[in-house]
Amino acid sequence: MSPDPSLMTRAFGSAKRQFGDRGERLVERYLRRQGYRIVARNVTTGRMGELDLVAVHRGTLVFVEVKTRRSTAYGSPEEAVSPAKLEKLSRAIQWYLQQKGLERVRYRLDVVAIGYADGEPVIRHHHSVGD
């Protein structure tokens, strides 16, 4: 008897989510060491998606998109942040700002990519993406 495909899909999705969660925790520690204060994690914005991390750094509200890849077989982590993804993030950010009454604050979107070299994570931080 072969395994139920839906169970395999859920198991793979769960493993993928756990891998992404580890990447987000790694980035959170990295950002804290850089002087960022994390104010929110995994903010769900309905159909607009999710904001991975929201932080404050030197008086600026920073929305952080985390992309983690085990290999570059399907492209670099940065390549996963397409123009369509940037548009979706922009809508999610505007929703967040409106919900929190922060329409007038200074903010930016950063992308933090995690790749692996010789089994060790390599973090690349891209500031003010999409400006």
Domain that holds residue 81: 5-126
The dihedral through the CA atoms of 93, 94, 99, 100 has a sign that is positive
Percent with pLDDT over 90 in the chain = 68
d(CA 67, CA 33): 19
Please report whether residue 131 resides in a domain: no
d(CA 90, CA 122): 26
Instruction: Tell me whether strands 60-68 and 107-117 are parallel, antiparallel or unpaired.
Output: parallel
Q: Output DSSP code: residue 78.
A: G
CATH classification of the domain holding 114: 3.40.1350.10
Predicted TM-score of the model (pTM): 0.85
The two tokens of residue 100 are 């929190």
Split into its structural domains, the chain has a count of 1
d(CA 60, CA 37): 11
Please report whether residue 54 resides in a domain: yes
Please report whether residue 73 resides in a domain: yes
Greatest mean pLDDT among 13-17, 31-35, 43-47? 31-35
- For residue 131, with 0-12 CB atoms within 10 Å meaning exposed, 13-18 middle and 19 or more buried, which class applies? exposed
Chain position carrying tokens 């993804």: 85
Q: Which residue has the higher pLDDT, 72 or 4?
A: 72
